């Protein structure tokens, strides 16, 4: 009997010490997006995809400074028209957002610079997901 009590106690300690909170995001931003306009200009010279997952995580895939896609990841929250997040390296970001065109257009306005980025709902291509180099260090222009 003592053996089972110790196992139960150990299991409770393990569950109680988890660093990650389970977050569910019920928002129009959940989904996959592609950048189509950056600060009033068409995004023709680079390619950026965003993926907002319902568990509060995000992935940013971008081909901007290099000839290959880079992947950045982190966590985000949505509250009263504000989309805020933190990359895995600790760098934070904050955008006002609006979803329009029946849920197919996402407009993000940077809370510091007022830079406006417009995304359209799409699917992140499998070749982008499979080839993207994962980055966790700071540096380089990120589109969040």
CA 71 to chain CA centroid, Å, is 10
pTM for the model stands at 0.77
Rounded-to-integer distance, Cα 120 and Cα 22, Å: 28
Rounded-to-integer distance, Cα 18 and Cα 5, Å: 21
- pLDDT value at residue 50: 97
Q: Where are the alpha helices (DSSP H) in the chain?
A: 2-16, 126-131
Whether 3 has a pLDDT exceeding 80, the answer reads no
Q: What does the CA dihedral 20, 53, 100, 65 come to, rounded to 10 degrees?
A: 100
Percentage of the chain exceeding pLDDT 90: 59
3-state secondary structure 33-73: EEEEEECCEECCCCEEEEEECCCCEEEEEEECCCCCCEEEE
Q: What does the CA dihedral 116, 121, 123, 125 come to, rounded to 10 degrees?
A: -30
pLDDT single digits (tens) 57-105: 999 999 988 888 999 999 999 998 999 999 999 999 999 999 999 999 9
Tokens of 51: 């993926």
């Amino acid at each position: 009997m003592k053996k089972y009590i110790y196992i139960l106690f150990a299991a409770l300690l393990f569950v109680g010490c988890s660093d990650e909170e389970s977050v569910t995001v019920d928002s129009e931003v959940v989904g996959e997006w592609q950048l189509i306009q950056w600060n009033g200009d068409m995004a023709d010279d680079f390619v950026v995809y965003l993926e907002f997952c319902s568990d509060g995580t995000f992935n940013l895939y971008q081909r901007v400074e290099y000839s290959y896609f880079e992947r950045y990841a982190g966590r985000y929250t949505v509250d009263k028209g504000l989309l805020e997040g933190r990359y895995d390296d600790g760098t934070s970001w904050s955008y006002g957002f609006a979803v329009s065109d029946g849920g197919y257009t996402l407009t993000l306005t940077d809370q510091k610079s007022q830079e406006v980025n417009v995304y359209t709902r799409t699917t992140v291509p499998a070749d982008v997901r499979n080839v993207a180099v994962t980055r966790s260090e700071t540096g380089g222009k990120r589109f969040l």
